[in-house]
Structure 1
Amino acid sequence: MSYFAIAVAWLIAAEALMSFGFGFPAADLASPDTLVLVHIVCIGWLSMAMCGALFQFVPVLVGEPLFDERWEMPALALLTAGLATLLAGFLSLGGRLPVGLWLLPVGAALLAAGFALVVLDLGLTIWRARPPVGPAHFVFAGLIFLAATVTLGSVFAWSLSGHGGKALDAVLASAVPLHATAGLGGWLTLTAMGVSYRLLSMFMLAPEVDGRSSRLTLGLGAAAIGVAVAGGLLTVAAETGLPIVLGAAAALSLAALALYGRDVVRLYRNRRRRRLELNTRMAAYGIASLVAAALLGGALATTGSFAAHVGAFAFLVAFGWLSGLVLAKLYKIVAFLTWLETYGPAMGRVPTPRVQDLVAERRASKWFAVYFACVWGSTAALLVNQALVFRGINVVMLIATVGIVQELIRTRQLADVAAPLRLPDGTQAPRLLYSRN
C-alpha cells in the first residue's frame, strides 16, 4: 500500500505539472523540464506502482513466498530518495536550482540500488520456483530490461553531469530512444502484459491462456526490445544501420502485440463471469489504447512523421495503455488486499461483505470514463500541436485522477461498506498507507 500511495502522489504531481505547462509540449522533448516530467511518470508513478503490485503478485504467480519481505521498505526509501535527487539534478541542469549537476549521478546511484533490491527480491522469488510458468516469464524478462534501463540511465546521468568522457557522451547523443524503449517497452509493457494475463483470467474466471501462445508472445516481444536496445547500441558504435534495426524491432513488436491482442480477446470471450466488473471493463480501454498506440506509431512511421509526433505516441502509451491498465487494476487490487486484511481472519466465523461490497462501481466508472476520454483528447491535441488545448484537457484529467484516487481511499476506509458488515467482531479497520501482514 505504501508503494501505491507514493505512486499515485507522483501521478497527480505529473498531471498538475502538465496542466501548468511544465515540460513537453510547452518545452522541447529533450529539455531538463521534460526530463523531470518523464521520470516522474516512468519512475515515480508507473515503476513504483508496478513494484508494489509485483511484491504482492509474484508470490501468487509462482506459488512461493517472497524471497525476503524485509527488502521492500529499503527499496522504497532508496527509490524515493533517488528520484527526488535525480529530479533536483535535472532542475539544476535547467537552471531552476543552484545545487549542482553532481546530483544526477548520486540520484542514479540511489535508484540503481533501489531497483537492484527489487530485481533481486523478485528475481530470486521466481528463480526459487523454477522453472517459472506462464506470466512469470514475462516478469522475469521485464526485470532484465529494468536492469538494462537503469544501466543506460546511469550512463546518461554521468554524461550529463560532465564526467562521462567521449564514449559516454556518444552514447548519450544517440541512445536516449533505446533507454526509453527498454523502460516503456521492456520493463513496463512486457511486465504489464504478463500480469494482465493472470489478473484478467483470475478476475473474469476465464481459462488461462495456453502456455505456448503466451511464450510465443513473450519471445517476439522480448526479441523486439532486445533487437532495439542491443542492436541500437551496436549501430551507435558503428555509426550506421540504426533505421534497419528499428524497423526489425517494430515488425517484431507488431507481431507480439497481435498475438497478445488475440489472447486477450479469447480471455474475454471464454470468461465464466458474464457481467464484467469495472476493473476488467476499464482494462479493456487500456488495452484498446495499446492497440491505438501501435496503429498510430505505424501510421506515423509510414508517413515519415514519427519524430515530429513522438511525444503524442509516448503520451498515449504512458497514460492510455500503462496508466490506464494500472489504475484499472489498482481499483481491484486495493479492494482485494483490503478485504483480505480486514475480513480474511474472520471469514467463516462471522458474516463478512464481498470484495465488491467495498467499492461503488457506478460512481467510480464516471471518473474512469472521463480519464480515458481526456487521454485520447490530449493525444489528439498533441498530434495537431495544440499545447493550450492539451493543458486544458489535462486539468480535467487531473480532476478525474483525483476522483479515482479518492475511490481508492474510500475503499481503504471501508466507507462504502454497509454498517452491519463494516467491522464485525474479530476484525480491525485497515491502515491507509500500509497493510498488516
Structure 2
Amino acid sequence: MRRALSPERSPALSVPFRFFLNAPLFALLAAGLLVWEGPGALASRWSPVSLALTHLFTLGILTSAMAGALMQILPVATGVRVAAAHASAVVVHTLLTAGTLALSAAFMVGAPALYAIALLLLAAALTWFLAACALGFWRYRHAERTGTADVLGASRLALVALLVTIAIGLLLACAQAFGIPLPIIALTNLHAVWGLSGWVGLLTIGMAYQLIPMFVVTQPYPRVFAVGLAPSVFALLALISFATARVPRVELPLGALLLVAYTAFAVVTLRLLWTRKRPSADVTTLFWRTAMLCLTACGPLWAIHIETGNPACAVTLGVVLLFGVAWSLVNGMLYKIVPFLLWYHAQRSLTGAAMRFAPKVKDMIPERAASMQFWAHLAALALLLAASLRPMLFARASGLAAGVSAAWLGLNILGAIRIYLSVSRKACATQIRAS
C-alpha cells in the first residue's frame, strides 16, 4: 500500500473548501442554463450556449475542484506546499469565479468587451495559481517525500498542460475580443485536448495514484504503468499539437494513441476497483467505476464521430467526457476528501472533555444520502446522453435532473459543514465552562 498521508500538513480548511464549494454551485448554474435554453444548448458544440456550458464545467467546476484538490493533497501526500496558500486561494478563487462568469456571459451575448474582461480575470487567476504552484515545487524540492515521484510527475505535467491550455485560450479570447484572424477551429480543438486530456486528465492520473489505494483500499497501480503513463500522455499531446500545425495526416493516429493510453488507465483502475479489499462498494467507488466505464466508451464514440462526421456524436462525446467522466470523478473525490477534512479539523479542535463530541468520518455525510445522490447523478447522465441525440425531447428534463443531482451534492456537503460547525461550537462552550 502507498504510505500514509500527513494530514497535519494540511492548509487551513478554507483553502480547499472555497474551491470545492464552487463545484455544485457552478453545476447548478449550468443545469439552470440548460433548462432555460432547452434544445438549442445541445444542437452543436459550437453554439454560444454550448460553449458557455462547456466553460462553466471546465472552469467553474473542474478547474475549481482540481485546484482545491491540488492545494490540499500536495502537502499531505508529497510534502510540497503551494506558496502563500491562503492568499493564493483567496485571489485565485475570486478571479477564477469572476472570470468564468464573465466568459460564459461573453459567449451568450457575444460582447467583445466581456471577452476582454474575462481574458484579464482568467489570465490573472491561472497565472497566479501556476506561479504559486511552481514556487512551492521549487521551495520544497528537497522536502519531497520518497515514493511520490509518480504523483509529483503527473502533477507537474498537468500544470504545464494548464499553461498550454491558458495560452491557447488567451489566443482564442483575443481573436474574439479584438478580431484577430486565427485558425479558430484548430486552436479550439487543441485548447480542448490540452485542457481535458492534459490539465484535467493528467492531474486525475496523479491524484488517482494516491487516492485510490489510500481511500478506496486497493492495491497500488503497477509501478511501470504509474511511472510511464503521464509522460506518455504528455508526449502524445505535444505530438498532436505539432501534427496539427505541420503534419495533419498523422493527427488522427496520434489521437487514437491518446485514447488508447486513457483507455488503459481506465481498465487498470477498474481492475483495482473490482478487486478492492473492502467487500461492498462505497459511493466513491461507484462514482469512479462510472467515470472509468465512460472513459472506455470515449474511444468508440470518437471513432464513430470521425467516421460519420455527425455533429450529434460530438455533443454525445462531450457529455460523456465532461459529465460522465470528469464530473463523476469530482463527485467521487469530494465524497472522500470533504468528510475526511471536516472530521480531521473537528478532531484537532477537541481536547479533554470535549472529545466526547468527536464525530466519525462516516457520520459527516451519511452513506445513504451520498448513494441516493449517486443514483440521481446516473439518471441525469442517462437523460443528458438521450438529450445529445434527441435534444427536443430530453434537453430540459436532463437539465432538471442535473440540477437535482448538483443540489443534492451541495446539500450533502453543507450538512457535513453543519456537523463540523456544531462540534466546534460545543467544543468551544465546553472549554469556556472548564475555564
Q: TM-score, normalised by structure 1?
A: 0.85
Mean alpha-carbon deviation: is it higher for 309-318 or for 60-69?
A: 60-69
Q: 1:355 to 1:90 in 2, by over 3 A?
A: same
Q: Which one of the candidate residues 319, 326, 330 is aligned to 1:322? A: 326
Question: Take 2:286 and 2:45, find their aligned partners in 1: how far apart are those partners?
Answer: 33
Q: What is the CA distance between 1:309 and its match in structure 2?
A: 1.5
Report the CA distance shift for 1:24/1:269 in structure 2 as closer, same or farther (over 3 A): same
Deviation string, structure 1 residues 125-154 (Cα, Å, up to 9, x no partner): 334336761122111111111111111111
**CA drift at 1:228:** 2.2
Structure having the larger proportion of residues in helix: 2
- What is the CA–CA distance in structure 2 between the aligned matches of 1:22 and 1:73, rounded to whole Å? 35
Q: Which residue of 1 aligns with 2:135?
A: 124
For 1:291 and 1:341, how far apart are their aligned partners in 2?
A: 38
Aligned to 1:112, which of 123, 127, 137?
123
Distance, in Å, in 1 between the alignment partners of 2:38 and 2:153 is 38
Counterpart AA for 1:108: L
Stretch moving more, 84-93 or 189-198: 84-93
For 1:158 and 1:76, locate their aligned partners in 2 and report how far apart those are by CA, in whole Å: 23
Q: Deviations over 1:158-209 (max 9, x none)?
A: 1112342xxxx23324321111111111111221122122111111233422
Amino acid across the alignment from 2:167: T
Cα 1:312–1:81 change in 2 (3 A) is: same
Distance 2:200 2:173 in 1: 21
The aligned counterpart of 1:65 is: 81
Alpha-carbon RMSD: 2.7
Q: Is the CA contact 2:342–2:416 (under 8 Å) kept in the aligned structure 1? A: yes
What is the aligned partner in structure 1 of residue 34 from structure 2? 18
Q: Is the 8 A contact 1:312 1:379 kept in 2?
A: yes
Deviation track 1:188-236 (CA, whole Å, cap 9, x = no partner) reads 122112212211111123342233211222122212222223332x14x
Tell me what 2:363 maps to. Answer: 357
Q: CA offsets per residue over residues 411-436 of structure 1, 9 Å max, x none?
A: 11118x9x9xx56964689xxxxxxx
Paired amino acid for 1:360 = P
Deviations 1:287-328 (A, max 9, x none): 211112233223433x33365521110111000100011011
Mapping of 1:196-211 within 5 angstroms? 196-211=208-223
Instruction: Please tell me whether residue 149 in structure 1 is matched to residue 165 in structure 2.
Output: yes
Select the residue among 341, 348, 360 that pairs with 1:344. Answer: 348
The alignment status of 1:138 with 2:154, answered yes or no, reads: yes
- 1:38-437 alignment runs, 5 A limit: 38-69=54-85, 70-93=87-110, 100-127=111-138, 128-129=140-141, 133-164=149-180, 169-232=181-244, 234-235=245-246, 241-245=247-251, 247-268=252-273, 271-301=276-306, 303-305=307-309, 307-346=311-350, 350-351=355-356, 352-383=358-389, 385-414=390-419, 422=423, 426=427
Give me the whole-angstrom Cα distance separating, in 2, the residues matched to 1:354 and 1:225: 43
Deviation at 1:251, TM superposition (A): 2.6
Q: Find the aligned partners of 2:112 and 2:199 in 1 and give their Cα distance.
A: 27
Are 1:217 and 1:259, in contact at CA under 8 Å, matched by a contact in 2? no
> 17-26 or 81-90, which moves further after superposition?
17-26
Structure 1 residue 30 and structure 2 residue 54: aligned? no
Tell me how far apart the structure 2 counterparts of residues 104 and 402 of structure 1 sit (CA, whole Å). 29
For 1:11-38, what per-residue CA distance to the aligned partner results, in whole angstroms no more than 9, with x for missing partners? 1100111122258545543233322222
Q: CA 1:413/1:354 → structure 2, altered by over 3 Å: closer, same or farther? A: same
Q: Hey, what's the Cα distance between the residues in 1 that align with 2:124 and 2:156?
A: 18
SS at match of 1:42: helix
Alpha carbons 2:39, 2:392 under 8 Å: kept: no
In structure 1, stretches of 5+ residues that fail to align are 94-99, 236-240, 430-437
Task: Rate the CA distance shift 1:428–1:212 in 2: closer, same or farther, 3 A.
Answer: farther
Contact 1:68–1:121 (8 Å) recurs in 2? yes
The range that moved more, 175-184 or 203-212, is 203-212
Once the two structures are superposed, what CA deviation does each residue of 1:39-77 show, in whole Å capped at 9, x if it has no partner? 111111111111111111121232233322122211112
1:83, distance to aligned residue in structure 2 (A) = 2.1
**Separation of aligned partners in 2, 1:23 and 1:428:** 54
Question: Structure 2 vs 1, CA of residues 173 and 296 (structure 1 numbering), >3 Å: closer, same or farther?
Answer: closer
Q: 1:81 to 1:394 in 2, by over 3 A?
A: closer
Q: Distance in 1 between matches of 2:104 and 2:263?
A: 37
Paired residues in the alignment total 406
One-letter amino acid of the structure 1 residue matched with residue 95 of structure 2: L
Q: Match of 1:432?
A: none
Structure 1 stretch 341-350 or stretch 320-329: which is displaced more? 341-350
The alpha carbon displacement at 1:368 in A equals: 0.8
Pick closer, same or farther for the CA change 1:180–1:428 going to 2, 3 Å: farther
Give the match's secondary structure for 1:273. coil
Amino acid at match of 1:46: L
280 and 118 in structure 1: CA distance in 2 versus 1, 3 angstrom threshold: same
1:209 alignment partner, SS class:
coil
Q: 392-401 or 291-300: which moved more?
A: 291-300
Secondary structure in structure 1 of the residue aligned to 2:30: helix
Change (3 A) 1:172 1:300: closer
Kindly provide the amino acid, as one letter, of the partner of residue 94 in structure 2.
A
